[in-house]
A and B are shown apart, each in its own frame.
Chain A
Amino acid sequence: MTLTEGLVAPWAEWQETYQDGQRLLEAGTYALTEGAVAAGLGVFAGYPITPATDIAEYMSKRLPQIDGFYLQAEDELAGMHMCAGASLGGQKVMTATSGPGFTLMHDAYGWAIVNEIPVVVVDAMRVGPVSGITGAPGQGEFYVSRYCSHGGNIETIVLSPNSVQETFWLTIDAFNLAERFRTVVTVLTDQVISDMSEDLFLPGDYGDLADIVVPRRHNLEMPFFPGNNSDIDLAPNVIGEGTGVCVSPYTHTEEGYDIEDMEAQWAQTFRLINKIRHHKEEILRYEAIGLEDAEVVAVAYGATSRTVKTAVEEARRQGVKAGFLRLISLWPFPDELLEMDLLYLVCELNYDGQLVREVMRAAPDKKKVHFMGKSGEMHTVAEVCEALQSVNKDQKMPEQPFIWTEVR
């Protein structure tokens, strides 16, 4: 696949279309709240946790203003279940958390995914494991966001913004994908992107966005869960309209009731996995710079991508044919972006190496994929620039303090 230069995402066009509004200086959490409101959010159910707490507070203030509901749950797993319940009742829903709360949601994730319930979940990642360093950004839930529930047999949609402005548009996009695919969409942001304040443009009247917001519809007839079917843009199911729908935690029939044979398991899994895999092109979002003639490509997402992009530009100035690939849709993993036989430098905010493993798997030659892991602080421009030079010249990573390069 030939990569498009620049930003490939719906908001590349949205930003040009919507120019009437106001410019503010606000945090990512604020942008996220407004994005959800613009998308038609009805219920937020969550539990405060750094750095997502501000989202809960904004929601508690904002939702009553628009006749929506803020539910402060007793813990994260309750919050996610409440979201699923409210979504089944016909509302657009969101919850927001960080790593420690994210892992508590696994049971609820599976329930929502298997029952095709649209939910948007925000995970503002920080350093781990466990409570880790509360105020530092991390990227340790890359795999967890894909394998967000037990039992396998699912696919997931995960997006990651890298600026406050992008957070606004991407949140609307996340809600749209949740409606179209009838699934849980995870917004994997991090402590930097959610806490920092930046330029934020907000459209003056969210009603103007009607053309780009996918509205909630109700499915009133069988099949509630079409087996062996990978269609998208089906209306979500609803409880309370007398359709006789059943929503259960078991492998289910097309009505939703439990069934224990292999044909049913296949039919259900065909739908859950292929509705996403067969429509990958609807989910693919990325930003690519300088790939036409690049010899070494820096790959990153989220906060990391900010300094990495600057480093790529600096490396170019120093004569290195560096390219920049920022992943915005993390899952389904965009294998098609890594078909070129080049050197890759994967920068991520963890030491165990997660994104790098996927890049190694997808790239033509895994020996040409290099890992630059950092944890506790962001990669500096100087560090990344030095690494790009070293990888390009000697095909190996330089010795740098507190930079992890090993992938085993």
Chain B
Amino acid sequence: MNKLAKKYLRPELVPTKACQGCAIGSIEHWLLQAIDESGLKLEDVIFGAGIGCVGRQTFATWGGDNFGATHGRALAVATGLKVARPDKQIMLVVGDGDASSIGASHLVHAARRNVGVTVICEDNMGYESTGGQFSPTTPEGYVTNSSPYGMVEQSFDPCDLVIAAGATFVAETTAVQWRQTVKIVKMALANDGFSFVHIRFPCVQNFGASALGSRDPLYNMEWIHDHTKGRTDDGEETDFAWTTGIKHDASNSRPEYSKVLRDLNTRVRADMDAPA
């Protein structure tokens, strides 16, 4: 394993359990770069993972204190943990299903409260761990294991959800934007508040097979590349393109949740001590 992995990861979990051609490991590599370049040590960061490919394949890799929550609940656990340990950086690694489907409620309220966590929502546009059913972020019309005639529901972008709820840093990148992702995750870590980084990446085994017709890792990554730019290598427009970059930056503009509670206590206790 390389130097960054040696510094931060458990050797038993390198290489990861992810499929060949899955970018979960690449993304985790960029997270390590961001953590390293931010000057953070192993004991400064608490990792939390969800359930699903993203949670499962990242879970147990981090060498420091970490937790794996039940499906969709990493943000709820992190809210309580942050109140008890406000001095730690909490990084949550969750998938599109974990964060925006079953976990949507906690996502919204953690953003509203401005809980000081950095949520890395890695989006492979489906419930891939259970075989490739569609999710709230699957592009409309695409064929998946549970939309054999094409996905008929409208999809949404969880970035819009958290911005509306009050998140203080929101950004989106894809699996071909490595340096941008490292830079953005560093900004996310620097925000003492709710940071949401949304990263689109390919699923070679399920999405690739059902929706794209290929399990070739290079083909799947090129599909991501094309939809990041909005056009193919031949100059053809793609059916849709993602809007990437920093979508909302109000970093450090309003107090973080555990600080709000502590300030309340200071105020209440001062009133109690004040002479009548």
Whether A and B touch directly in their complex, counting CB atoms under 8 A apart, is answered as: yes
Give residues 15-53 of B contacting A (CB, 8 Å): 42-43, 46, 51
Selecting from A24-32, A68-76, A389-397, the interface stretch reads A68-76
Q: Do B84 and A64 touch across chains, with their CB atoms under 8 A apart? A: no
Counting CB contacts under 8 A, is A2 at the interface?
no
With beta carbons under 8 angstroms apart, the residue of A239, A242, A258 that contacts B59 is A258
Q: How far does the alpha carbon of A113 sit from the alpha carbon of B65 in the complex, in Å?
A: 19
**Shortest distance between the CB of A56 and any CB in chain B (Å):** 15
Q: Do B43 and A71 touch across chains, with their CB atoms under 8 A apart? A: no
Q: Do A45 and B85 touch across chains, with their CB atoms under 8 A apart? A: no
Q: Do B84 and A74 touch across chains, with their CB atoms under 8 A apart? A: no
Counting CB contacts under 8 A, is B77 at the interface?
yes
Kindly report which residue of chain A lies nearest to residue B60, judged by CB atoms: A257
Q: How far does the alpha carbon of A87 sit from the alpha carbon of B63 in the complex, in Å?
A: 21
Encoded as 1 (CB less than 8 Å from any A CB) or 0, chain B from 173 to 215 comes to 0000000000000000000000000000000000000000000
Kindly report which residue of chain A lies nearest to residue B68, judged by CB atoms: A248
Q: How far does the alpha carbon of A246 sit from the alpha carbon of B77 in the complex, in Å?
A: 14
Q: Do A77 and B76 touch across chains, with their CB atoms under 8 A apart? A: yes
Q: Do B83 and A86 touch across chains, with their CB atoms under 8 A apart? A: yes
Encoded as 1 (CB less than 8 Å from any A CB) or 0, chain B from 98 to 129 comes to 00000001101100000000000000000000
Counting CB contacts under 8 A, is B164 at the interface?
no
Encoded as 1 (CB less than 8 Å from any B CB) or 0, chain A from 79 to 122 comes to 00111111111110100000000000001101100000000000
Q: How far does the alpha carbon of A249 sit from the alpha carbon of B261 in the complex, in Å?
A: 29
* Given A73-B76, A74-B105, A247-B67, residue A242 in contact with residue B81 (CB < 8 A): no
* Given A64-B268, A74-B109, A258-B59, residue A240 in contact with residue B65 (CB < 8 A): yes
**Shortest distance between the CB of B190 and any CB in chain A (Å):** 20
When distances are taken between beta carbons in the complex, the residues of chain A under 8 Å from B63 are 244
Q: Do A85 and B78 touch across chains, with their CB atoms under 8 A apart? A: yes
When distances are taken between beta carbons in the complex, the residues of chain B under 8 Å from A281 are none
Q: Do A64 and B265 touch across chains, with their CB atoms under 8 A apart? A: yes
Counting CB contacts under 8 A, is A261 at the interface?
no
* Given A74-B105, A246-B60, A258-B59, residue A85 in contact with residue B70 (CB < 8 A): no
Give residues 229-250 of A contacting B (CB, 8 Å): 239-250
Q: How far does the alpha carbon of A86 sit from the alpha carbon of B87 in the complex, in Å?
A: 14
When distances are taken between beta carbons in the complex, the residues of chain B under 8 Å from A65 are 268-269, 272
Counting CB contacts under 8 A, is B264 at the interface?
yes
Q: Do A81 and B83 touch across chains, with their CB atoms under 8 A apart? A: no
**Shortest distance between the CB of B264 and any CB in chain A (Å):** 5
**Shortest distance between the CB of A217 and any CB in chain B (Å):** 15
Q: How far does the alpha carbon of A87 sit from the alpha carbon of B46 in the complex, in Å?
A: 15
Counting CB contacts under 8 A, is B73 at the interface?
yes
Kindly report which residue of chain A lies nearest to residue B88, judged by CB atoms: A240
**Shortest distance between the CB of B41 and any CB in chain A (Å):** 9
Overall SS of chain B's interface: helix
Kindly report which residue of chain A lies nearest to residue B264, judged by CB atoms: A64
State which size class the interface on A falls in. 35 or more
Counting CB contacts under 8 A, is A43 at the interface?
yes
With beta carbons under 8 angstroms apart, the residue of A67, A91, A108 that contacts B84 is A91
Kindly report which residue of chain B lies nearest to residue A85, judged by CB atoms: B80
When distances are taken between beta carbons in the complex, the residues of chain A under 8 Å from B78 are 85
Q: Do B60 and A81 touch across chains, with their CB atoms under 8 A apart? A: no
When distances are taken between beta carbons in the complex, the residues of chain B under 8 Å from A77 are 73, 76
**Shortest distance between the CB of A294 and any CB in chain B (Å):** 47
Counting CB contacts under 8 A, is B69 at the interface?
yes
Counting CB contacts under 8 A, is B147 at the interface?
no
With beta carbons under 8 angstroms apart, the residue of B43, B84, B105, B272 that contacts A242 is B43
When distances are taken between beta carbons in the complex, the residues of chain B under 8 Å from A82 are 76-77, 79-80, 83
Q: Do B60 and A86 touch across chains, with their CB atoms under 8 A apart? A: no
* Given A71-B83, A240-B85, residue A245 in contact with residue B65 (CB < 8 A): yes
With beta carbons under 8 angstroms apart, the residue of B64, B70, B73, B84 that contacts A86 is B84
When distances are taken between beta carbons in the complex, the residues of chain B under 8 Å from A241 are 65
When distances are taken between beta carbons in the complex, the residues of chain A under 8 Å from B106 are 74, 78, 81
When distances are taken between beta carbons in the complex, the residues of chain B under 8 Å from A108 are 70, 73
Of the candidates B63, B77, B82, the one having the most CB atoms from chain A within 10 angstroms of its own CB is B77
Kindly report which residue of chain A lies nearest to residue B65, judged by CB atoms: A239
* Given A71-B80, A86-B84, A258-B59, residue A78 in contact with residue B67 (CB < 8 A): no
Q: Do A90 and B268 touch across chains, with their CB atoms under 8 A apart? A: no
**Shortest distance between the CB of B105 and any CB in chain A (Å):** 5
Give residues 360-382 of A contacting B (CB, 8 Å): none
Counting CB contacts under 8 A, is B244 at the interface?
no
Q: Do A244 and B265 touch across chains, with their CB atoms under 8 A apart? A: no
* Given A42-B84, A85-B80, residue A249 in contact with residue B69 (CB < 8 A): yes
Q: How far does the alpha carbon of A71 sit from the alpha carbon of B261 in the complex, in Å?
A: 9
Q: Do B84 and A90 touch across chains, with their CB atoms under 8 A apart? A: yes
* Given A42-B84, A239-B65, A247-B68, residue A85 in contact with residue B76 (CB < 8 A): yes
When distances are taken between beta carbons in the complex, the residues of chain A under 8 Å from B108 are 74
Kindly report which residue of chain A lies nearest to residue B42, judged by CB atoms: A242
When distances are taken between beta carbons in the complex, the residues of chain B under 8 Å from A245 are 65-66
Q: How far does the alpha carbon of A90 sit from the alpha carbon of B86 in the complex, in Å?
A: 12
When distances are taken between beta carbons in the complex, the residues of chain A under 8 Å from B258 are 69
When distances are taken between beta carbons in the complex, the residues of chain B under 8 Å from A70 are 261
* Given A240-B88, A248-B59, residue A88 in contact with residue B81 (CB < 8 A): yes
Q: How far does the alpha carbon of A228 sit from the alpha carbon of B170 in the complex, in Å?
A: 46
Q: Do B80 and A81 touch across chains, with their CB atoms under 8 A apart? A: yes
* Given A69-B261, A108-B70, A243-B65, residue A88 in contact with residue B84 (CB < 8 A): yes
Starting from the known contacts A45-B79, A108-B73, 11 additional A-B residue pairs (CB-CB under 8 Å) come to A75-B105, A78-B105, A85-B78, A85-B84, A88-B80, A90-B84, A239-B67, A240-B87, A241-B65, A242-B42, A248-B67
* Nearest 5 CB-CB pairings of A with B: A89-B84, A85-B80, A81-B76, A82-B80, A86-B80
What would be 25 A-B contacts, judged by CB atoms less than 8 Å apart?
A43-B80, A43-B83, A45-B80, A65-B269, A73-B109, A74-B106, A75-B105, A81-B80, A82-B76, A83-B80, A85-B77, A85-B84, A86-B84, A93-B80, A108-B70, A239-B66, A240-B88, A242-B42, A242-B64, A244-B65, A245-B65, A246-B67, A247-B66, A250-B68, A258-B60
**B residues neighboring A (CB under 8 Å):** 42-43, 46, 51, 59-60, 63-70, 73, 76-85, 87-88, 105-106, 108-109, 258, 261, 264-265, 268-269, 272
